Amino acid sequence: MFEIYQDFEEIVSEKPLLIGLFEKQEKIEINEKINKEVEELIKDGIIKTGLGEVNKLPTFSKIKNKIVYIIGLGKKEEYTINKFKQAVKNINYKLGSELVILLDTFKGALGIKEVAFNLIMTSHYFNYKYDEFLSKKIDNDLLLKICTKEDIKEEIEEALNIAVAIDNTRDLVNRPYNYLSAIGLAEYASELVSSLDSDRVKIAIYNKKEIEELKMNAFLGVNKGSTCEPRLIYIKYQGLEEWKNPVALVGKGIMYDTGGYSIKTSMNTMKDDMAGAATVLGVMESLVKNKVKANVMVIICATDNRINGEALLPDDILTAMNGKTIEIVSTDAEGRLTLADAVCFAQKEGSKEIIDIATLTGACVVALGEYTTGLFGNDQNKVTEFLKAADETEESTWQLPITEHIREQVRSSKVADFTNSTGRPMGASGAAAFIEGFIEEKTKWLHLDIAGTAYHTSPSYKEFYGATGVMVHTIYRYLK
Ligand code: BES
Ligand code: MN
Ligand code: ZN
């Protein structure tokens, strides 16, 4: 949690005080009762100023706070928002459950509003925990008392809304299948919408029969072998005066990916195959809470692909909502089947701009690893705009191609209009080209492959094990 104060002297607190210190900085301004002593220590080279270095100093009752933590900020000339975030990563419950931070000392040449925003985002992100099913809960609660004379209220509020939405996205992805099926996700979405308590948001949930009436047979094909009914989740958020030019956010909602009859030999972590769905719900929550002026539809085809005697088989042919036929080469290429129908639905509902987000291909993980999201699109201006947003949020994103050759390959079936797999070559691009095949001529479309970035089993940067909530912030920023 966070609280804002004008002046740290107004907080009668014994809790640790946090300040930032640049390399070669000689002066500090905590309080005249202690400044000199600390400056002596700096002069003697006792305090380390390398980026993120944490120095712990007792104050021997010279000031109320019993401890001062000095956080190294590195070279002042090289200081950026990214450097600030790296320093902030080390501010956590290990320093104390309640901390008083003098934000201005972390500013350097950066804007205080930007610093405040990123303080919230980063410290919230790195203090996330998932302990829903642990008997012994993780106690890492942290109250940060932020001190600055400048007005940062709006930034803090905006950041907090996004940070909480990202927590919710991470919780959904971390929740195992036996606690979150397609029906469960639809219930969550309904509860989320009513909790937002805004007449600008409307939700409709379609059951199996209603999905059949919509002729979403590619989506239904994936669900055929499951004992759990599918759900189509459709939310509209009207942030503008008029309902026009809605951007459709389509999230892959495979609640569990077994591979189907093309069964996965190792399917661990495939509870995360609904990360795209969780992401678009997180984006919607952030937009509504921050009253962003944008019109958005959220569309999720939620199902798992467990198998029984009814299940989809390789060689089967499915007919998508738009009448196009698809030869099933691998039942494990299921995400694109549900996404094909989802983008058809979005266009039928009047969207001319679609962003889909999906844990779509292992090939994207091979190409870009676990810290870079793959981006595809049919409109280079939109791609460029999106890359700019990703640059600002520092969520690494890289554009990958769809070429004519790849387009031909997804249309190379002898028996149907499309094939659902191009095999090992062009994995990520082939999947993208397949979805593109269901995008109408005048529709602008972006596709994000988060197979590598949505879930980290061996975190490299001290982020909590599992779901990352990647792209919630970037899509929010892009739409804003
Ligand atoms: N959900 C997987 C992709 C995935 C892989 C997500 C690793 C997260 C981590 C997707 O449905 C899948 O199985 N893709 C296949 C496609 C292939 C059969 C054409 C893949 O990538 O192997
Ligand atoms: Mn699959
Ligand atoms: Zn999948």
Give the side-chain half-sphere CA count within 13 A for 194: 6
Are 326 and 406 found together in one domain? yes
Domain harbouring 78, CATH code:
3.40.220.10
What whole-number distance in Å separates Cα of residue 144 and Cα of residue 2? 5
Q: pLDDT value at position 448?
A: 99
Are 185 and 330 found together in one domain? yes
Domain final residue, candidates 105, 126, 149: 149
Q: pLDDT value at position 6?
A: 87
359 in contact with ligand 1, CB cutoff 6 A:
yes
Rounded to the nearest angstrom, the distance between the alpha carbon of 276 and the centre of ligand 3 is 11
What whole-number distance in Å separates Cα of residue 171 and Cα of residue 167? 6
Secondary structure class of 254 (helix, strand, coil): strand
Pairing relation of β-strands 373-377 and 444-449?
antiparallel
What whole-number distance in Å separates Cα of residue 417 and Cα of residue 437? 10
Closest-lying ligand 1 atom to the alpha carbon of residue 420: 19
Contacts with 142 (C-beta within 8 Å, 6 or more apart), sequence order: 1, 92, 93, 97, 98, 99, 123, 127
Rounded to the nearest angstrom, the distance between the alpha carbon of 333 and the centre of ligand 2 is 5
Q: pLDDT value at position 1?
A: 85
| 154: in domain | no
Please give the C-alpha separations between residue 232 and each of 42, 189, 208, in angstroms, as whole numbers. 61, 11, 8
What whole-number distance in Å separates Cα of residue 477 and Cα of residue 480? 5
Q: pLDDT value at position 478?
A: 98
Q: pLDDT value at position 113?
A: 96
Domain harbouring 363, CATH code:
3.40.630.10
Are 124 and 167 found together in one domain? no
What pLDDT tens digit does each residue of the chain (480 aa) get?
A: 899 998 877 777 899 999 999 999 999 988 888 999 999 999 999 999 999 999 999 999 999 999 999 999 999 999 999 999 999 998 988 999 999 999 999 999 999 999 999 999 999 999 999 999 999 999 988 999 999 999 999 999 999 999 999 999 999 999 999 999 999 999 999 999 999 999 999 999 999 999 999 999 999 999 999 999 999 999 999 999 999 999 999 999 999 999 999 999 999 999 999 999 999 999 999 999 999 999 999 999 999 999 999 999 999 999 999 999 999 999 999 999 999 999 999 999 999 999 999 999 999 999 999 999 999 999 999 999 999 999 999 999 999 999 999 999 999 999 999 999 999 999 999 999 999 999 999 999 999 999 999 999 999 988 999 999 999 999 999 999
273 in contact with ligand 1, CB cutoff 6 A:
yes
Give the side-chain half-sphere CA count within 13 A for 237: 30
Contact indicator for 185, 271 with CB cutoff of 8 Å: no
| 271: in domain | yes
363 in contact with ligand 1, CB cutoff 6 A:
yes
Are 186 and 138 found together in one domain? no
What whole-number distance in Å separates Cα of residue 169 and Cα of residue 159? 15
| 156: in domain | no
Contact indicator for 327, 315 with CB cutoff of 8 Å: yes
Q: pLDDT value at position 12?
A: 73
Which H/E stretch holds residue 30?
Answer: none
Pocket-testing residue among 332, 337, 356, 426, ligand 1, by greatest number of atoms within 8 A of Cβ: 332
96 in contact with ligand 1, CB cutoff 6 A:
no
The active-site residue out of 94, 264, 291, 424 is 264
Q: pLDDT value at position 232?
A: 99
What residues make up the domain containing 292?
A: 161-479
Are 94 and 168 found together in one domain? no
The active-site residue out of 145, 252, 336, 477 is 336
What whole-number distance in Å separates Cα of residue 141 and Cα of residue 364? 36
427 in contact with ligand 1, CB cutoff 6 A:
yes
| 237: in domain | yes
Contact indicator for 288, 304 with CB cutoff of 8 Å: no
Are 108 and 196 found together in one domain? no
Are 166 and 124 found together in one domain? no
Are 14 and 79 found together in one domain? yes
365 in contact with ligand 1, CB cutoff 6 A:
yes
Closest-lying ligand 1 atom to the alpha carbon of residue 423: 19
358 in contact with ligand 1, CB cutoff 6 A:
no
Closest-lying ligand 1 atom to the alpha carbon of residue 259: 13
Are 79 and 188 found together in one domain? no
Are 228 and 362 found together in one domain? yes
Are 214 and 320 found together in one domain? yes
Q: Assess whether 264 carries a catalytic annotation.
A: yes
Are 339 and 413 found together in one domain? yes
For residue 459, the one-letter residue type is P
Rounded to the nearest angstrom, the distance between the alpha carbon of 328 and the centre of ligand 1 is 15
330 in contact with ligand 1, CB cutoff 6 A:
yes
Domains contained in the chain, number: 2
Pocket-testing residue among 264, 331, 334, 361, ligand 1, by greatest number of atoms within 8 A of Cβ: 361
